[in-house]
Amino acid sequence: MTKVRWEEMFKDEMEAAIARRPVCYLAYGLAEPHGLQNALGLDGLKAQALVELAAQTHGGVVAPMVWWHIHETPLGIAWLARQNAPQPFLTAIPPDIFLHQLLYQLRAVEAAGFRAAICVTGHYGGVEIDMRQLCELYSRSRPLRAVALADWEAIRYKDYHGDHAGMCETSQLAYLRPELVDLTRMPAQPFEGPVFASTDNARQASRSEGEGIVRSQVEYFGKLSSRLLKEAEGQPAGERISWDKTERIWQEFVMDKPHWIGSLEGDSGWPRIAERRKLFPLLDI
């Protein structure tokens, strides 16, 4: 197995990996309720294993994982209230802190000599759009080609478009980390409403469905990284920019804070997510 984790590489291995394919993958997730059958960290476990597979298949490096993510926004709280999960075991931080860190991650990725950054969040529902907006803003003034997406946006298999601890996500984790899925923990009887934020259709999850989903995602990441590297060809070399310069990008991004998904109010915010998604579409590949 090719070594792909940034933090595990020796200097010469890192230099060789960047010279081969200067793409950096960044994975995001958090611990939150994912049914009785999945490990709490499904989102991050899925994203991390997925990008490692992409880097092993196509080349590239995987940055140190971020395990703290946006939740408990007005939308997130309204959603959580319906999940039958009074103790959700969240590893949540506010949008500003998460997104500010993402900006400095892009700065570090550019300074390391990468030409493209692919930020994959296993936790979604709108947060991916705020991340994508920030990546777009960064790439507007910097040579690094950066993009963010929810892992489900990379699925090109049957009619799967992601879910929450249902058949899709449970199958993905069953393929990527089989030891962290245990369907026998699900309630014995079929159920209607959510059980610890999972749905009854998770019973149909399988490793083979997960394999189909994941393979299509890995293929997509190959195409996406090639596209970004091509776009980077005309760009000047990256550099280590100052904190002041980085903060100027942040200040511009913060001006749009009232429109961030993380700022949307309660259940009335859901239709706005579709509008924002249209405003910040994923590259059509």
- Which residues contribute to the site for Zn ion (CB under 5 A)? 42-43
Nearer residue to Zn ion within complex by CB, 38 or 246? 38
Reported as type and span, the H/E element at residue 24 is: strand 23-28
Q: What angle do CA 261, 264, 266 make, to 5 degrees?
A: 125
Calculate the alpha carbon distances from 170 to 138, 188, 200, 221 in Å: 34, 17, 11, 21
Query: Tokens 């996500």 belong to which residue?
Result: 169
Calculate the alpha carbon distances from 261 to 88, 93, 264 in Å. 21, 15, 5
The residue (of 26 and 42) whose beta carbon lies closer to Zn ion is 42
Burial pattern 91-119, b for ≥16 Cβ within 10 A else e, equals: bbbebeebbbebbebbbbbbebebbbbbb
Residues 262/95, Cβ–Cβ less than 8 Å: yes
When computed from its CA atoms, the radius of gyration of the chain, rounded to whole angstroms, is 19
Q: Which is nearer to Zn ion, 124 or 157 (CB)?
A: 124
Contacts of 177 (CB under 8 A, 6+ apart): 39, 45, 46, 49
**Which of 105, 101, 106, 98 is CA-nearest to residue 142?**
106
Amino acid type, 142? R
Q: Partners of 69 in the beta sheet?
A: 92
75 to each of 56, 81, 126, 250, how far by Cα in Å?
Answer: 36, 10, 9, 23
- Residue 169: enclosing H or E segment and its boundaries? helix 167-176
Report, in Å, the least distance between residue 284 CB and Zn ion: 25
